[in-house]
Structure formats: C-alpha cells, structure tokens
Chain A
Amino acid sequence: MTLELKKLADYKDIMERCIRCSMCKWIPQVQIKSWKYAQVCPSIDEYNFHAYSGGGRMIIALSLLTERIGYSEELLNIVYRCTACGACAVSCKYLNDLEPLEVIEALRKKIVEDGEGPLPAHKKYMKLTEEVHNPYGEEPSKRLDWLPSDIKVSKNSKLAYFVGCTTSYRRKEIAIATARIFNKAGVEFQLLGEDEFCCGSPILRAGGEAQVLDLIKRNIKAFKERGIETIVTSCAGCYSTLKADYPRYVKHDFKILHTSELLEQLLKEGKLKLKKEVPLTVTYHDPCHLGRCSEPYKEWHGEIMEPIPLVRFPVPPLPLRQGTYGCYYPPRNVLKAIPGLKLVEMERIKEYAYCCGAGGGVKAAFPDFALKTAGRRLEEAIDTGADTLVSCCPFCATNLQDAIKANNAPIKFYDLTELVLKAMED
C-alpha cells in the first residue's frame, strides 16, 4: 500500500475488516475461464484449511495480536507455508482494499522480532548471508565463476548487471546468456563480483527486517561508490527487492531494470536483432516478483475522513498495489520478436499468475510443497500445448526444472535470455 513501514499492530483495522469472502483463494472472479485453473493460492491448494489462505493468515495475525492464541509450531508452519506470492492481495483488492500480503509480511517480521522464528532453514540461510553474502553458503570469491573469458566487462559503466546469488551460483546459464546478449548488443556493463552481496530478498521474505536493513544500506553504498546509475538484473526477486522494497527503507534514485525491459528497449532501438528462427511453441510463466510484487509502494500523506458517518474515505485516495503495473509485457514482447517462435498463454497470467512455488522461503523450508506447486504450474503449461516453458527468474527456473525432472514432464524449460541468445546466434 504505502511507502511507510508498518508494524503488525498498525494493520489491526485491516485484519478486523476481512469479510472472509474467500476471494483471495481464487483468481479475480471475472478472469475465471475454467474449473481447473480458477484457484490462485498455492498454500491453500496444498493444505486446504482456511488458515492457509491470505484471509486465513489475516485472522491468525489478528488472533496472535489480540492474544487469543500464542506461538506454536503449527502457527509457524502455517505462516511460513506461504510463498508470499501476493496473488491473494490482487484478488482481494479487485473489489476491496485490504492487504493480506502486507499483513503476512508484518506477521513474519513480528515472529522474528519476538524471537520465535523464522524456521531453522531460514535461520541457516540468513546466517550464511551474513557470513558469505549469499544464502547458499558459497565462497564470495567464486561469485564470478560463471563468467566466460570471452565476455567483455566494463570497469566504469554506469550500468551494472546485478547477477544475484541464485543466478551466480545455481543458474549460471542465465548469467552467461545475459552477458553474451549485452556484449552482442553493445551494452556496456560492470559486474560487482565479490562486492555483489545478496539483495536481501530471502531474508526480507522470512521476516528478517533488522538484518536486511544493514544489507540494503551496504548495497546502496556499494552502488554509489561505483558510480552506478542503472541496475539491470535477470532475477525477479532481486528486481522487486531493489525496486519496490529498498525505497521503503532507504530512498534511492537508481534506475532498476529487469533484463526483459532492457531487451525490449534494445529491440525498439534496433540494437538487438533477432534473426535466427527458434521454432518452439512456448508459454510464459510470470514470476510473482517480476509481475504483481514489483509494483513500487507510494507515498501517502492523507487522512481517513468520514464525510458521512461510518463511511470511511481516505483523502487523497489510498494508493493500492493491485498488480496493475507489474512487468508483464516486456518479456512477452521480446518473445514475440523471436522469429519462428509461437507464444501461447496459460489461463493464469500476469497479475493473477499462479506462483511457481519457490518463493517466500518455501523452497528452503518446505521443498516438497515447493515441488508440488511447481507441478501444478507445469500441468497448466503443458495444457496449453506448448513444448517449452519460459520464464525470467532463476528461482522459478530452479523450481520448475526440479518439477520437470521429478515428474518427467514433457516440456523443456528456458530462461528468456537463453532463447534470445539462440535467436541472435549467427
């Protein structure tokens, strides 16, 4: 909602206003086109009790805040078996103005503040991030191990390619493709190398606010010292963290771009030429953090008026993050520019896309749940008749590819950059 950071108690009024309508379990009602793909919350799809929905978690938060319930293992499990994908918030806010996702995030922060969480898997990656600046516990000196020797990197470009931990250590193919495309298209970029620390996304999603603040300050300082003006990232998690979350803690004026946005821009400017046929039928998975969750928060200085008794009226209107302005079209436009490639859409797309299942600390703490959710998404992708699933996020890539393997699914996976590179090859 607003730029202002709030504590759980500040959301009490919002929690009390939940009408338990369950809209948050479904994609926006006017978008429903079939029985099969009508639901939107991976968590309740797996665990079924109302507690596992966005609205359910608002009730839990209210119960905890008002001391109707105390901490328990079950409570922690419920709170963290949620990918923080934000789909519930989009559906709720189609006709209401509550903030289930913000409440979930505030609840996680409270749990950490109270010393009751996060879960051991999250604590482990938080500690590793503190020690070696990435949640995987990899050596900082190996951060650029992916970098082929023939890639040209600039030392003083104002544009930085922020590779991100997952891409650097686990999805090197995305880093390589991105760097090659940049070289071919004449985009000068610098890499931070060992000086690139985790953006803080995994910590933030688990509720580690205090820890993330240090990281944010440190990263912003590092960008400034290097004279960086534009940060390009191929990771959806880094993108939304830098673009939407950072300004809530420390204001900055860096331009944050996702690779897909830069590629779209290069195509428009004629700097990127895609000539080679890539004869694939692809369907595109919108990463939650590139789409609905990337919308920046807005400043709001106003008052809740009551022009008519009991009718609350925020003046000026409260800015709502409804998923309206996520990054949906750049990846699609780039795909459409690839010769020979046919793009077919899944039913749940853009602001009401179904999550891949990895986010919010779920992949670390509940890998089976993550895999099942990815399996559901794969089924939808396969139902389109596509032979290839494409996305724009290394974390989605990992989870979806894990599910392809686990299910022996008849579909291939590529990152957008890999397909672009194929179309550029001579």
Chain B
Amino acid sequence: MIKDNEYEALEKIVGSQNISREPVILDTYAFQWCAELLNVINDKPPARYYLRPAAVILPSSTEEIQQIVRVCNKYGLKFKAFSTGLGPWNCVSTPRTIQIDLRRMNKIVKIDTKNQYAVVEPYVSGAQLQAEVMKFGLNCHMPGAGPQVSPLASATSMAGPGFTSASTGFAGRNVLGVEWVLPSGDLLQLGALGQKNDPDWFTGDGPGPSLRGIMRGFVGAKSGLGIFTKVAVKLYPFPSKPEWKISGESPNYKFEIPNYLKFYIINYKDWDALTNALRRFEEEEISFMCYYASRGAICASFANSREEMFSYYSIHTRLKRPLTLMIGAQTEREFEYKKKIVEGLIQETGGKDYTKKIKIRDVSYAEALRCLLGFHGFLITGCFQSTHGGMDTIEMAIRMAKLNAPIKRKFIEKGGIADDQGEGVWLATYERGHMAHCEMPTMYDATKPESVVGWVEYAHACDELDLKEHLGIPFFIEGDKQHEWYGPHCMNYHIWLRKIKEAFDPQNIADPGFYITSKKTS
C-alpha cells in the first residue's frame, strides 16, 4: 500500500487533518452506488464495496493538486479525482491509488451575467450554482443525476445528459474555459483562458488552444487524463420568472409555481407518432424540457412515495408513448404564444393531453426546474442503473428503445431485473432536437446477488445490441477490456484513445481504470 515516506510527502502538502489512510475512512470511498455491478463485471462477488484507495486527500487549491500529482509521479502512485462523487466510476481501480476528494474546492469563482457563463470549482453543486445564477435571471445545466452533483465533473469528465437538455444542452457542450492539472502536474488552460493577454473564460475554442474533444470526448475521461480544477460553463436564461417561493415541511412542500411555466404530458399512440411529435415540438423551439419517459417513469417522477406511485396505476395503463414537455416564458404574451403552439401541435401530431389526469404537484415544478425528477427512479427498487446511452438523432434514439424492449423482457423473465414490461426508457432531446440520447433505466436490487448478476447480463446484451444495430457508444464502455471489444467495431477509436492517454500520461499516473491504459509504461 502506501509507504510512510510517500504518505508524509503528501501530508506535508495539505496538513495532517486533510489526509487519511485509516481503513474507517477509506471504506467510505470504496462503497459506491453500483459498486456491486462493477465487482460482477470484473468477475468478483457482488459486494457493495469496490477497492479501497491507498489514501484519501483533501486539497484546497490548484497548487496543492499540482504538488500532489508531482508526488504521485515521484513515487509511482496513481491518483483518482472525485468531485461530488456519485457512482462506481469514482472508485480507484488499483490499490496504490490516492483518492483526491475535491470537496474543499467549492467556490463559484465568477458569474459573468453579460456573457452568460459561470466559473466553478469542483465541489460547487448544481443547486448552489442555480440558486446563485437565478438571482440574475439565469439558469445552468444539470445532469439527470440531480442538483447535488458537480457541474464541473459533469462538464469535464462524465457523461452529461439532463432533463432540461432541450434548452440547456449536453454538459460536454457547455464547457468554455478550463483549468486542468495534467498527469505530469503541469497546468493547462484551455480556451480563451490560455491567451497570453487578457486571459478569460468566455470560450473553450480559440483564440487559445482548444483541446475540448481530447479533454472529454463523448463520455469523459473519468479522471483518466488529470484533474480539472476550474471550469467555465455556459448559462441560459431562466425559463420563467426567476422566483423560488417554497413553504411547508418536508416532504409536503408547497411551491409557488413562478409565472409563465407549464408542464404537459401528451400521450401518443405509438413510436412513430412520438418520433414525429418530438421532432415537431423541437422544431418550434419552445420547450424548456422535452423528453420521452416511459409511463412507469412518469408515475415515479410525479410521486413521492411508492404508494403514491402505485396509485397512478389506472393512468399508467392508459398512457402509451407519453411526451413530457415543459414550456416557460418571460412575459404573458410569450407564454400565450407558446401555449397556442403547443395546443396546435397536439392537434397536428395526434397527441392527447393527459396533463390534467396526472396530479402534477406544484413541488414537481420545483423538482423539474432543479433537475430532481430522475432521482425518483430510486423509489421503485431502491436502486437502478441505465444501459445504452448512445447519442445521435431522434430516430436512432427511438429505434434503440424499440429494439431494446424485447431483449429487456427476456431478462425480466429470467428474474434478475425488475419488471417494467421492458418499457423503462428515458429519451431526451438536445439543443432543440438536433440530437437525442436514449438510455434504459433498469431497476434491480443491489443487495441481492442474483439481481446484480441479472443486471450485468442484461447490460452485456444491451452493449451487444448497440454494436449490432449501430446504436452509438453506450455510457459505460470504459476501461481496456470494454474499449478493446468495442474499438475494432467502431473505426478502431480505441487506438486513438490510447494515443491520447499515452501523450498525456504515459506512466498511467491518472487512474486509467475507467478510461484506457497507456502501454508505454516503463
């Protein structure tokens, strides 16, 4: 594990209170959401813990991180960054790896209201950022994981779809200037931040160097290319009046729905009608949110208990292919205009307005604005994880949903994953429908080995389906084994990915477990 002299070198940087190698602390970093899946994928028993890091360290600045990385280089230790830290991809993949918990780097560095961006450190949460930018009538993108996670992690390192993606984009497309500690310990500044004169955060591409594609690509390097210490993310206008008035006591909060905001649940008879509707609604550029979530997911996302969720059963049976839409406006006139368009499009696309039949509580509006609807997925079995994740056109996303259903049903019959009739789908549009992604949230029981194994077997079948049917790269193709399987089918991208790793980190100092390994190690 970690030797005394190595530990002391790290301790010198942050002080003894900000580093630990006590098993009691390390275990809390080995335990992760979905760690049991990772264990099974790696041919181990389905334990809720993955590997313990060699030590956990809590730096407070970019300079400290640079020093830590240099110590890692000196002693051949690896490091793994961790912002808000939700998910198995935060686990270290080899024993001599230091977990760098960035919790102490929690500042909103700058809010540029004129150019609509904010600069944040790793441990600023989505809700914190939104609360602050709302004060200027602005909004930020948050991943579906919820408002408690880090916009920086999402923007620089890890996937990035969100419920509001129709209007707030994909996390990876919202990145502007970036401050990046490379695996060597050197500092790299991307975008306008790299300019010699008047460096600033306002753009991620030139006049300074643009390495955005290399930095994260589609799903992010998951700490495999260094540590991002600050990032500028795009901001968007808040969809309605930026007011947040909430009263009552948990869980019975009452939210005063701000003016000019409206939810719609529009039911379509089949996939074709839904495809057309998604395209048409997005062409009109009116939505704040626009996605397809299966009927079960709708019942879960508007309920705050299992009992309430099951009470929607009668609606559940009548919904076929529901489109969830939210519109927002700044003025009465704009709102009326958007509502008229929605009504017209419902007619035109053959949809049925189910909004009034589903009791959408006022607090669901707050949860929608704050990106908390996805979290309701845990209501059902206490645990879920998605398969697939490919991003392309609306048509491809729908095709994926259609092709997946029979496969999912087969695995439901086998008994490992929970029965959603093969229907569990979340399909979101991006940037006014120019892109769409689709994933299959799949409920399982993390405490039952047969269920964990069931999920892994089903996920493998999904990955195979994606290959066979050209459904894009799934979110969780990560690590050597997966990339080497997928790469040859996809223009040998894994060779290029490895070249990037080797150029930036030949010695694999940045934990390559969820990225790709350099073969250049001496």
Q: Which residues of A contact B18 (CB under 8 A)?
A: 48
Interface pair B25/A49, CB less than 8 Å apart: yes
Given A50-B101, A74-B24 in contact, is the A308-B418 Cβ separation under 8 Å? yes
B198 to chain A, nearest CB (A): 27
The stretch from B275-283, B299-307, B423-431, B478-486 touching chain A is B299-307
* Complex Cα spacing A93 to B379, Å: 11
Interface pair B24/A94, CB less than 8 Å apart: no
Interface pair B255/A51, CB less than 8 Å apart: no
Taking CB atoms and an 8 Å cut-off, the chain A residues in 80-103 that contact chain B are 90, 93-96
Interface pair B28/A317, CB less than 8 Å apart: no
Interface pair A51/B28, CB less than 8 Å apart: yes
A350 proximal to B (CB < 8 A): yes
The stretch from A15-23, A143-151, A155-163, A380-388 touching chain B is A15-23
Residue of B148, B249, B451 ringed by the most chain A CB atoms within 10 A: B249
Interface pair B148/A21, CB less than 8 Å apart: yes
Number of interface residues of B (CB under 8 A): 72
Given A32-B127, A60-B28 in contact, is the A350-B249 Cβ separation under 8 Å? yes
Q: Which of A22, A28, A49 contacts B86 (CB 8 A)?
A: A22
Given A17-B382, A49-B56, A312-B381 in contact, is the A62-B250 Cβ separation under 8 Å? no
A34 proximal to B (CB < 8 A): yes
A250 proximal to B (CB < 8 A): no
A253 proximal to B (CB < 8 A): no
Residue of A25, A30, A59, A75 ringed by the most chain B CB atoms within 10 A: A30
Interface pair A38/B131, CB less than 8 Å apart: yes
Interface pair B24/A75, CB less than 8 Å apart: yes
Q: Which residues of B contact A323 (CB under 8 A)?
A: 249-250
Interface pair A95/B22, CB less than 8 Å apart: no
Taking CB atoms and an 8 Å cut-off, the chain A residues in 3-43 that contact chain B are 13, 16-23, 25-26, 28-35, 38
Given A30-B370, A32-B127, A35-B131 in contact, is the A72-B22 Cβ separation under 8 Å? yes
B167 to chain A, nearest CB (A): 20
B206 proximal to A (CB < 8 A): no
Q: Which residues of A contact B383 (CB under 8 A)?
A: 17, 19
The stretch from B64-72, B264-272, B438-446, B499-507 touching chain A is B438-446
* Complex Cα spacing A69 to B23, Å: 7
Given A20-B85, A29-B148, A95-B304 in contact, is the A34-B28 Cβ separation under 8 Å? no
Interface pair B417/A30, CB less than 8 Å apart: no
Q: How many A residues touch the partner, as a band?
A: 35 or more
Q: Which of A21, A95, A324 contacts B33 (CB 8 A)?
A: A21
Q: Which residues of A contact B104 (CB under 8 A)?
A: 48
Interface pair B246/A31, CB less than 8 Å apart: yes
Please, which residue of chain A has its CB at the minimum distance from the CB of B31? A59
Given A26-B148, A35-B128, A38-B125 in contact, is the A60-B27 Cβ separation under 8 Å? yes
B84 proximal to A (CB < 8 A): yes
Residue of A49, A93, A94, A322 ringed by the most chain B CB atoms within 10 A: A49
Interface pair A68/B27, CB less than 8 Å apart: yes
Please, which residue of chain B has its CB at the minimum distance from the CB of A13? B447
Interface pair A310/B448, CB less than 8 Å apart: yes
Interface pair B27/A26, CB less than 8 Å apart: no
Interface pair A28/B250, CB less than 8 Å apart: yes
* Complex Cα spacing A156 to B255, Å: 49
Q: Mark B137-161, 1 if CB is under 8 A from A, else 0.
A: 0000000001110000000000000
Q: Which residues of B contact A68 (CB under 8 A)?
A: 23, 27, 49
Q: Which residues of B contact A (CB under 8 A)?
A: 17-18, 20, 22-25, 27-29, 31-33, 48-49, 56, 58, 84-86, 101, 103-104, 108, 124-125, 127-132, 146-148, 244, 246, 249-253, 255, 304-307, 310, 363, 366-367, 370, 372, 375-376, 378-383, 415, 417-419, 443-448, 451
Show 28 A/B contacts (Cβ-Cβ < 8 Å), sorted by A: A20-B85, A22-B148, A25-B148, A26-B125, A30-B255, A30-B363, A30-B366, A31-B246, A32-B130, A35-B108, A48-B103, A50-B101, A60-B24, A62-B31, A63-B31, A68-B23, A68-B49, A75-B22, A95-B379, A308-B418, A310-B381, A310-B445, A310-B451, A312-B381, A312-B382, A317-B305, A322-B250, A350-B249
Given known contacts A310-B443, A310-B444, what 14 new A-B pairs fall within 8 Å (CB)?
A19-B33, A19-B382, A20-B33, A21-B375, A29-B148, A30-B366, A30-B367, A30-B372, A48-B58, A49-B56, A50-B101, A78-B24, A90-B250, A96-B382
